Amino acid sequence: MGSLCVRGGPGPLGEWGEGMTSEGRTTRVSEGSRTAAPTEEPPRSPWPALWAMVLGFFMILVDSTIVSVATPAIMVAFDANVNGVVWVTSAYLLAYAVPLLITGRLGDRYGPKRLYLIGLTVFTLASLWCGLTDTIGALVVARVVQGIGASMLTPQTMAVITRTFPAASRGQAMALWGATAGVAMLVGPILGGLLTDGPGWEWIFFVNVPVGIVGLVLAIRLVPRLETHTHSFDWLGVVLSAVGMFLIVFAIQEGETYDWGTITGPVSIPALIILGLIVIGVFLWWQRRNSREPLLPLGLFRDRNFSLANAGISAVGCSITAMAFPLMLYAQGVRGLSPTGAALLLAPMAVISGGLAPVAGRLTDRLHPRSLASFGVVTTAGAIFWLASVMRPDTETWQLLLPMSLMGVGSPFLWAPLSATATRNLPMSAAGAGSGVYNTTRQVGAVLGSAAIAVLMQARLATNLPGIPTDGAAIRQGGGTMPPAIADGFAAAMAESMVLPAAVLLAGVVAVLFFERPRHQTA
């Protein structure tokens, strides 16, 4: 009998898996006996499980953008200063990004379904806690717990796709995964504006509770229990990766707050980055020396496509995150749009991206990823350059919507080819580890983009508006419109800043041009 591809599902005699033998017959495999016997029951479709998990993934992505819209209301509610309220977002992003390597590996050991359910439960309860807090400190702590829940949930979605979808049809599943991110970018700011203007800022967190409950019910019913791989756990690797990731992500994320200099005493932003890199270096050395069960199987990087896809998604995460900041500041400061109105500028991108996602998925399964990913990168970068060229105070709205529409055309050809190419050749025992690496790379790219765009925007504002204060109190008047005396300079600074995310994307072409043809296309 041929080899088994195991899919989970509880059977009457214990934990069973469903799969297809190499001869094409359906089998059921007992975890205890590991013996296979033919049965006529067809294998379970993986699509219902994916749709159930996408709901939770969508919720945490929305939460990454929804809070920024409510930041002024939170400052008023708690009488907090800017540094205090920034940590409402920073704490979440840190707690989300740092454990991803660990939680991905935990999914391999204890099962992606179990980790997903725990993560979604933690995230949902923490959301309720966030809405009930009465101090800014308590809100920051609750956001940390919320971020930990998100970090447990995220890698499991990709791991389940990798382990339940055949390599030849994985592109369609990854297209849905990528489209979820695009739609969440639109829904988050709009929903945040509507809830903050309506029932209050607390409801940006309360809204997660019913969605989380529905997601839990669906996941319990539809997501299969997959085979686990019980080995020793690399606790030293856990500590080293967590410390190294925290130092690097914290330093990059807070660099602008401390002007990239001293935090306190001998501690400085550059020192934290250097120390973090040293710790990560020790972590990688230990992973290579650990002969038992390393937290990060370095053998994954022997697959060229996996390594290149991680480089590509880092550029995408950096670019998409960086692009949003100058665009929203231009829309609200120069054009006087409300947060909801500014978010609606993203509507063409989200709608077109969602509509083309199935097309991108089908093509990803059939065509060389090099051509698709290159098209996505070049089209999206061109759209950002186009958008930057029309970001003026007197630009008609339709002139902004055209490049946003083009961005919607390119976006699905970024997410689907990159994620599918990264996971096609992963061994099933390392699906969670590979997913953790991929999501960590994406998140670190996003943090780098956030830090880099903040520095560049400040530099361009200083050049275009020398000697003029550009803080919110100085540049905003009644009705939210910027004084004409500085509108031109401010718009020019934001447009020039948009060159960075476009250039980073173009640099990502270097990675995707070296993709190899997937194995399923050469078989």
What are the pLDDT digits (tens) for 412-468? Answer: 898 888 888 887 777 776 777 788 888 888 888 888 888 788 888 888 888 888 876
Q: Report which of 56, 53, 57 is spatially closest to residue 160, judged by C-alpha positions.
A: 53
Q: Is the pLDDT of residue 374 over 50?
A: yes
- The pTM is what? 0.76
Give the pLDDT score at 470.
Answer: 53
Q: What pLDDT is recorded for position 265?
A: 77
Look at residue 402 in the predicted model and tell me its pLDDT. Answer: 96
Cβ neighbours, 10 Å, residue 289: 8
Output 294 or 507, whichever has higher pLDDT. Answer: 507
User: pLDDT of 85-117, one tens digit each?
Assistant: 777 877 888 888 888 888 888 888 888 899 999
Structure confidence at residue 478 as a pLDDT band (50, 70, 90):
very low
CA distance 384 to 29: 51
Does residue 474 have a pLDDT over 70? Answer: no
| Rounded distance between C-alpha atoms, residue 347 and residue 145, angstroms | 31
Q: Can you tell me whether residue 1 is helix, strand or coil?
A: coil
3-state SS, one letter per residue, for 87-131: HHHHHHHHHHHCCHHHHHHHHHHHCHHHHHHHHHHHHHHHHHHHH
| Averaged pLDDT score across all residues of the chain | 80
Lowest mean pLDDT among 65-69, 156-160, 356-360: 65-69
3-state class (DSSP) for residue 29: strand
**217 exposed, middle or buried (CB, 10 Å; 0-12, 13-18, 19+)?**
exposed
Q: Are strands 267-268 and 7-11 parallel, antiparallel or unpaired?
A: unpaired
Instruction: Please tell me the CATH code under which domain 45-228 is placed.
Output: 1.20.1250.20
- From the centroid of its chain, how far is CA 278? 26
Q: CB count, 10 Å around CB of 7?
A: 22
323 φ, ψ (degrees, to nearest 5): -60, -35
Q: How many CB atoms lie within 10 A of CB 81?
A: 10
pLDDT category at 15 given cuts 50, 70, 90 is very low
- The H-assigned helical ranges of 198-338 are 203-206, 208-222, 235-254, 269-289, 304-329
Residue 42 has pLDDT above 70, yes or no: no
User: Any idea where the domains of the chain sit in the sequence?
Assistant: 45-228, 234-292, 297-522
Average of pLDDT values for 16-45?
38
**In this predicted model, what pLDDT tens digit does every residue of 174-231 receive, in sequence order?**
777 777 876 777 678 788 878 887 888 899 999 999 999 999 999 998 888 877 666 5
Place 6 in a pLDDT band, splitting at 50, 70 and 90. very low
**How many residues are there in the chain?**
523
More confident residue, 471 or 510: 510
Under 8 Å CB-to-CB from 346, ≥6 apart: which residues? Answer: 185, 186, 189, 404
3-state SS, residue 19:
strand
CB 195 within 8 A of CB 74: no
Pairwise CA distance, residues 164 & 20, whole Å:
11
Tens of pLDDT, residue by residue over 498-510, are 999 999 999 988 8
Residue 340: pLDDT band with limits 50, 70, 90: confident
CATH number of 297-522: 1.20.1250.20
- pLDDT category of residue 43 using cuts at 50, 70 and 90: low
CB 254 within 8 A of CB 246: no
| Res 50 pLDDT > 60 | yes
- Asked if the domains 45-228 and 297-522 are classified in one and the same CATH topology, the answer is yes
